[in-house]
């Protein structure tokens, strides 16, 4: 009789433990057939971010994924500057706001509130550097998505910084090598919104039979 009671107690304990584990580690379901496709299909451009910081180690992993993108002749024709220090970021935004005093809110807002900004420059001496930077950027955004981090690819800050001489101190601070031109900005942060997917025109892709 004692053995039976002990067996029942052990079974009850095992069931309780399994229930707790299921609660702590919920099963994630997805409509896609594998994690890579899910990452691609579920990524959205995020324009509202939480104030939470991203760990330095996580940013390093994202950049590592970025520089492992395919690139022409392995020239790696990019340079990358990661701004995650709030004080440095604020100083860059102040320069932009001072350069466009009548459009200060719009100018600073072009960063979309992302707490981390990645500036990417391309090598003007290499014809395919624009493609290399695009592939790099996609790797960065997809790896961020796989780690639960939102992203957005931005062009407006590039125009603001490149086209206005008053923004020269920003380029000096970014310290790109000679013959490199700022080409892309990527904002990173933990998403504070869940935007719906926008429609894609599948007719633009055609098989030649």
Residue 181 CA to residue 184 CA, distance in Å, equals: 9
* Domain ranges for the chain: 2-31, 35-189
Beta-carbon contacts of 174 under 8 Å, excluding residues fewer than 6 positions away, are: 81, 119, 121, 182
Residue 29 CA to residue 38 CA, distance in Å, equals: 10
Q: pTM (2 decimals)?
A: 0.84
pLDDT at residue 30, rounded to an integer: 64
Residue 36 CA to residue 19 CA, distance in Å, equals: 29
Backbone angles phi and psi of 21, in degrees to 5: -65, -40
Three-state secondary structure string covering the chain = CHHHHHHHHHHHHHHHHHHHHHHHCCCCCCCCCCHHHHHHHHCCECCCECCCCCCHHHHHHHHHHHHCCCCHHHCCCEEEEEECCHHHHHHHHHHHHHHCHHHHHHHHHCCCCCCEEEEEEEECCCCCHHHHHHHHHHHHHHHHHHCCCEEEEECHHHHHHHHCHHHHHHHHHHCCCCCEEEEEEEEEECECCCCCCCCCCHHHCCCCC
Beta-carbon contacts of 102 under 8 Å, excluding residues fewer than 6 positions away, are: none
Domain 35-189 has CATH 3.40.50.850: no
Tens of pLDDT, residue by residue, the chain (209 residues) = 444 444 444 334 444 333 344 333 334 546 899 999 999 999 999 999 999 999 999 999 999 999 999 999 999 999 999 999 999 999 999 999 998 888 888 889 999 999 999 999 999 999 999 999 999 999 999 999 999 999 999 999 999 999 999 999 999 999 999 999 999 999 999 999 999 999 999 999 999 99
Alpha carbon dihedral 187, 131, 140, 196, in 10-degree steps, equals 60
């Amino acid at each position: 009789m004692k053995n039976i009671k002990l067996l029942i107690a052990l079974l009850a304990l095992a069931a309780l433990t399994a229930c707790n584990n299921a609660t702590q580690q919920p099963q994630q379901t997805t409509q896609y057939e594998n994690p890579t496709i899910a990452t691609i299909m579920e990524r959205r451009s995020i324009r509202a971010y939480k104030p939470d910081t991203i760990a330095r180690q996580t940013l390093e992993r994202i950049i590592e994924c970025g520089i492992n993108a395919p690139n022409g002749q392995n020239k790696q024709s990019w340079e990358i500057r990661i701004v995650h220090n709030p004080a440095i970021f604020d100083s860059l935004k102040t320069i932009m706001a001072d350069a466009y005093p009548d459009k200060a809110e719009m100018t600073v807002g072009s960063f979309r509130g992302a707490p981390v900004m990645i500036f990417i420059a391309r090598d003007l001496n290499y014809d395919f550097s624009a493609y290399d930077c695009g592939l790099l950027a996609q790797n960065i955004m997809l790896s961020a998505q796989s780690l639960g981090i939102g992203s957005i690819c931005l062009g407006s800050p590039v125009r603001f910084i490149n086209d206005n001489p008053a923004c020269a101190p920003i380029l000096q601070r970014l310290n790109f090598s000679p013959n490199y031109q700022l080409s892309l900005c990527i904002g990173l942060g933990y998403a504070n919104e869940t935007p719906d997917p926008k429609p894609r025109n599948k007719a633009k892709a055609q098989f030649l039979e």
